[in-house]
Structure 1
């Protein structure tokens, strides 16, 4: 009531009661109910119309239907009082506010606690709810449903990045790559390459610099953070006097807003390509990479949102759900779901991937990790009489975790399934019931069955190279002499990405360097997420953002 009364006087608004939200069907019964209740107008898929003119809706498309409860002009809606001589205030009758009160009550009753207020001219809609609303901050939510927690659904996805968690944005470091140059020397790369507008841009910058007390002749590295923000992001509605062929009064848009506007407005693929040279894939500033709307991230269990839980490793997530304490009533509701979640996490833990986080992108998994996840799914299905074929599932798995994977495979076998594995790992071969050894060499020298039988029988077969390594008759010799470095090092300083604990390392150049450790210890983060991305950016001008670290020396 007070929110509507406080709107701009004269604004035309429509009060709507939502009945259907993005649901498939023709909804004929809904329209019949609206007619019986005496309403004459509805809003169907964003269009207001008479209830008698509603077209037949497509059954397989999603539709939204709201009842038009009232149409108002914001005027004289504030409460009115009369002050007595005693100082007491008594409310006066206000027909306009009484009508609004009746309409709001009808809206909430018809919409089952939900109401929408639409600006008639702009089409903008505000949602109000009796059930999920915060009076202090003005946030309103519709009824919480499972789809609200999915970044693949428009109901849950962050509105700025559309559920991706990242945005292609202009990067200030790419806009001004050489901070030793001054603004007058062309430090702003996208403007320096635009000769037709360069003089105009320089004249505006001089006017801006004069008003904000910084110099366009000083190297960019000497400018204050405040001055650099003015250059990159503009000064809003502030006006500047610029002399060119005549005197002009203009705003300063800022380099980054200017590029963003041109990128969105242009139809030229060439111009888009030019601007993309100054863009990087960065974390979404609104959801901070969590991919969901802020309202959904505010829903928490044990002080954790769904994004916080999915950011946990499988091992830690199992501990979270195992230790979850709920009331008796909530336990009855949640127990079947919790039981299934715990079972699935147990299966994933048992195949040696407890170190993976639940929100890990599928395209970042190694082949072995992806296979182990599918293996965990199959273990949970309890199927019998199935033939499973695995191709080197131990890839990326530390020897320390081999036993868990082997036990999971044996569990599949023990319930009545056949498991075939293409594998070189000694532990897996020794645990198998039967081995088929193909060779003797590769390519045209292969294609022959050299030996078959139990691991013991393979070890005794003199023709099997695999058997000789299994028995220890042959082994990989440890080099007696190690190659020495050329004296130069690649130094990674204070790496802190993911689980790295501010580590610093030296990699000797012109040597064979192995980086090892148990699964999930941070090897790939250190090498792929930090070192490779920094080197690629420096040598190949790649745009990938490297993981958190202080510096890399020796490139």
Structure 2
């Protein structure tokens, strides 16, 4: 009986308070609770970590020599744990060589498929290239030319003497048969290395052994190439030439293409990769718009941006000094230059060095890191001119199935790829040869569609996937593997999904459990929690106020309990919205931002209208075009206008109303730092003040320790064994690299000299290990530190540790830290050192006129935490800023001032704005899935609206 349960005894990992738990196997278990209550500590840091440890125990002794240094979870015992697989929300992919196709291994299957059944086409003339054997040539001749007179020949470059020795005495030359049995005086025939068409036989095409024997002889002697001349003297054209080859050689262009094999279709291998772009599909080039961002400036006033930097002013001076020699007016705005003048400026002359000379000089110093960083500011990727972005060499893309090369197939949305393979027209022989490959391809594609990713393409770079998309790609891989007896731990699999699609995820989790797997899912979504077989709620608060089991039991019992989550599910606790916002009575007086003719990706020439100084939510099912419209078009277009972004926007016609804005800021889920050295207090500049506090202590002054001594990024008080990282990297070669605790400092980052300095009984390492909530109390009288920490707490991050590595933060946590940074930055300078509690900050103290774009800010937030987020967003709106959210959370959608819904479906069936207006009005839009679910939400919650436009 006990084997049917996963039993946890005395779990104390992180903030868990010695909890005991029994979880049923082969069930879907939802772990919920407020932010920082210990959900991840239980699911990932305890249960999954123990499962991983047991796996490590099964490895060789050599591997365990390294792995035994890793910490086991702080728990007394865990019984009946299964092999564990974690599907986390973070996207760890940084390489541009990884795509959805390679991540799911569908591309590997496609490479195998193309090597089996793809047909080659000449990339010069476009004709199909066919490989022939004797039986196929005979069949072709008998079918189309039976009874006709024919001459069978083969091409050769051997001498006439050698031909005679082999018994061949006739050749076809200059449209006639020539006898070579005797030496000839023809100079053309006697040229060295001349190619002749050697006659094997003259016959009438009949079903006789002579025909196949002659063709076989021609194959053997002609290096697998033969020609057949059909003779019809009664016609104007007396001869017809037929060419056949047993290799991939174009009969018309004589172009040879290598035989197909899987590596030929790999853009990650030199055999298949485009020689120009090395398989990336694009090439970095210097962008005139980045080099000369303000074309209204003259050369004298600094039009060439890189030459304004102190280190490179000599380049500007030599241009100013010598420009007159080429009749260049240094006081004329760049936008008035002729094309000839621009060419002179960029290429340079004998009189002065040009912009290209400058970059070529720096390219020779690319081995220096700061030079590479500097050059990257002025470059952008452009599509490779050789492969046209297909990443492969021309021989690879010459192979096609049903008229599509492998990259054209990969650029299809997954929904279209499913239809392509469903209607695939191939011969019975080809289908039989590839049936297993096709079965696996169809299976993997269908699972990608089922997890709500049918709008993705197989060519999509993995690094561009959101955390939620990356997790669902991995979920589809697990579905396709059909594992049993496994423990899956998932972190919010519904991230990025519309309410319509969460029902699909719920069914998939059920299917996995019915296969004999245990599913533990950390989740805040109502539908996932309600559909779970077992629910565990942790709390009651976050950080040191959490870590306790509030409830553990079946779903029916949970719904009737008096816990925070259960009250939200029953509708007792509601997302109430304050009614103190000034109502904008006249719609016509509202300032608006317009984007016209957006048609990138799947957008259908969309016209977007955004009321300013309001909380606007953009909704729609997955793949409907939300990110394409808001991030890749609107944000990039505005960011280039305000010179804060260099990426080109997707195609659009025009923007109106940007004069009402001071700037635009995208608060994304990209990690706040790329290395473990980055953490919340370094990002928010709080660590500078903490180090200053320690440098002012008596012992620090006695040894003249300045603030820099307490930095783990520079030499001084940091541990020099690990360079202040706290860990050391072990290269495992055949495994992923491991990070083990530094033996020099035992993971504390600092030397003993630095750790001896204390403030209120705590050293610098102990302070970095404090949670935000603990640090607020610890620094209660140091306002420059405390008030920034209060912002973190008020946005729902009171549980994170000050020194927590940014690489361990979820996308939602990173996004909220960035939002805190913006809250600090938009305050006037004289207010930043004396921030009061967020709820007391007056809106008029904020800077106004910014457009803030946030992509799903509710990720990782409990229903209760969304209130705090909403209050912060409202503060920014009241101050005169505009908040534009891409969001699926019905509470936040209903609380917004304006809703823009895209759809009606994802992919090609999306890309339309199907509604734009008040949240209350979208419920009447029959096309809108958002309206349908919001109507149900209103019936349950009846919200109080804050303002109307």
What is aligned with 1:355? Answer: 455
> What is the Cα deviation at residue 231 of structure 1?
4.2
Q: Which moved more, 1:135-144 or 1:417-426?
A: 135-144
Instruction: Give the drift of 1:271.
Output: 5.7
User: In structure 1, how many angstroms separate the alpha carbons of the residues matched to 2:299 and 2:222?
Assistant: 58
Task: Provide the secondary structure at the position in 2 that maps to 1:374.
Answer: helix
Pairing 1:19-168 to 2, within 5 Å after superposition = 92-98=188-194, 131-134=247-250, 140-168=256-284
Counterpart for residue 396 of structure 1: 496
1:474-519 CA deviation, whole Å, 9 max, x = no partner?
A: 2223565666679444433322221112223233333222111111
In the alignment, the residues of structure 1 paired with residue 332 and residue 617 of structure 2 have an alpha-carbon distance, to the nearest angstrom, of 46
- Kindly tell me: are residues 276 and 355 of structure 1, through their superposed partners in 2, closer, same or farther at Cα, counting changes over 3 Å? closer
State the Cα distance separating 1:367 from its structure 2 match: 2.1
Distance, in Å, in 2 between the alignment partners of 1:410 and 1:546 is 41
- Name the CA shift for 1:526/1:94 in 2 (closer, same or farther; >3 Å): same
Partners of 2:258 and 2:395 within 8 A in 1: no
Q: Does 1:458 align with 2:558?
A: yes
Offset, 1:222: 3.9
Between the aligned partners of 1:156 and 1:202, the Cα distance in structure 2 is: 48
Aligned residue in 2 for 1:544: 647
Counterparts of 1:473 and 1:267 in 2: how far apart (Å)?
A: 62
In the alignment, structure 2 segments of 5+ residues that lack a partner are 1-156, 159-172, 175-184, 199-218, 226-244, 664-949
| Aligned equivalent of 1:424 | 524
2:631 aligned with 1:531, yes or no? Answer: no
Go from structure 1 to structure 2 and tell me whether the alpha carbon gap of 1:540 and 1:178 turns closer, same or farther (over 3 Å shift): closer
Output the CA distance in 1 between the equivalents of 2:224 and 2:512.
Answer: 51
Contact 1:259–1:275, Cα closer than 8 Å, also in 2 = no
Contact 1:281 1:544 in 2 (8 A): no
Deviations 1:20-70 (A, max 9, x none): xxxxxxxxxxxxxxxxxxxxxxxxxxxxxxxxxxxxxxxxxxxxxxxxx99
Whole-angstrom CA distance in 2 between matches of 1:436 and 1:110: 78
Q: Which has the larger radius of gyration?
A: 2
Which residue of the partner structure matches residue 513 of structure 2? 413
Aligned residue among 609, 618, 623 for 1:520: 623
Q: Conserved in 2, the CA contact under 8 Å of 1:406 and 1:431?
A: yes
2:405 to 295, 305, 312: 305
- Alpha-carbon distance in 1 for matches of 2:279, 2:583: 49
2:441 maps to which residue?
341
Please say if 1:179 is aligned against 2:295: yes
Question: Which of 1 and 2 has higher RCO (CA within 8 Å, sep 6+)?
Answer: 2
Matches within 5 A, 1:115-514: 131-134=247-250, 140-181=256-297, 187-189=303-305, 196=314, 201=319, 219-223=333-337, 226-227=339-340, 230-231=343-344, 255-256=355-356, 258-259=357-358, 261-266=360-365, 269=368, 274-462=374-562, 464-477=563-576, 487-514=590-617
The range that moved more, 302-311 or 536-545, is 536-545
Q: Deviations over 1:322-358 (max 9, x none)?
A: 1111122222222221111111111111122212222
- The equivalent of 1:125 in structure 2 is none
Q: 1:350 to 1:278 in 2, by over 3 A?
A: closer
Provide the rounded CA distance (Å) in 1 between the counterparts of 2:506 and 2:371: 55
Preserved CA contact (<8 Å) 1:440 1:448: yes
TM-score after normalising by structure 2? 0.41
Matched-pair contact (CA < 8 Å) for 1:165–1:291: yes
Shift of 1:174: 2.1
What CA distance in whole angstroms lies between the structure 1 residues aligned with 2:262 and 2:634? 40
Q: Secondary structure at the match of 2:407?
A: helix
Decide whether aligned partners of structure 1 residues 536 and 457 sit closer, same or farther in structure 2, where only a CA change above 3 A counts. Answer: same
Contact 1:488/1:508, CA 8 A, preserved across alignment: yes
Question: Which whole-Å CA distance do the structure 1 matches of 2:325 and 2:189 have between them?
Answer: 58
List alignment gaps of at least 5 residues for structure 1: 1-68, 71-79, 82-88, 103-107, 115-128, 245-251
Distance in 2 between residues matched to 1:266 and 1:491, nearest whole Å: 45
The offset of 1:432, in angstroms, is: 0.9
Query: 1: distance between equivalents of 2:484 and 2:490?
Result: 17
Q: What's the RMSD between the two structures over aligned residues? A: 4.0
Contact 1:483–1:511 under 8 Å retained in 2: no
Q: Return the alpha-carbon distance in structure 1 between the equivalents of residues 345 and 319 of structure 2.
A: 13
The alpha-carbon distance between structure 1 residues 330 and 260, as it changes in their structure 2 partners (threshold 3 A), is farther
Against the structure 1 CA distance between its residues 353 and 490, is the aligned structure 2 distance closer, same or farther, given a 3 Å change threshold? same
On the 8 A contact 1:439/1:446 being kept in 2, the answer is yes
Aligned to 1:167, what secondary structure does the other structure show?
strand
CA distance in 1, matches of 2:336, 2:314: 28
Q: CA 1:220 to 1:90, structure 2 compared with 1: closer, same or farther past 3 Å?
A: farther
Kept in 2, the 8 Å contact 1:168–1:281? The answer is: yes
- Alpha-carbon distance in 1 for matches of 2:651, 2:249: 38
1:55: which partner in 2? none
Give the equivalent residue in structure 2 for 1:11. Answer: none
Q: Report the secondary structure of 1:280's partner residue.
A: strand
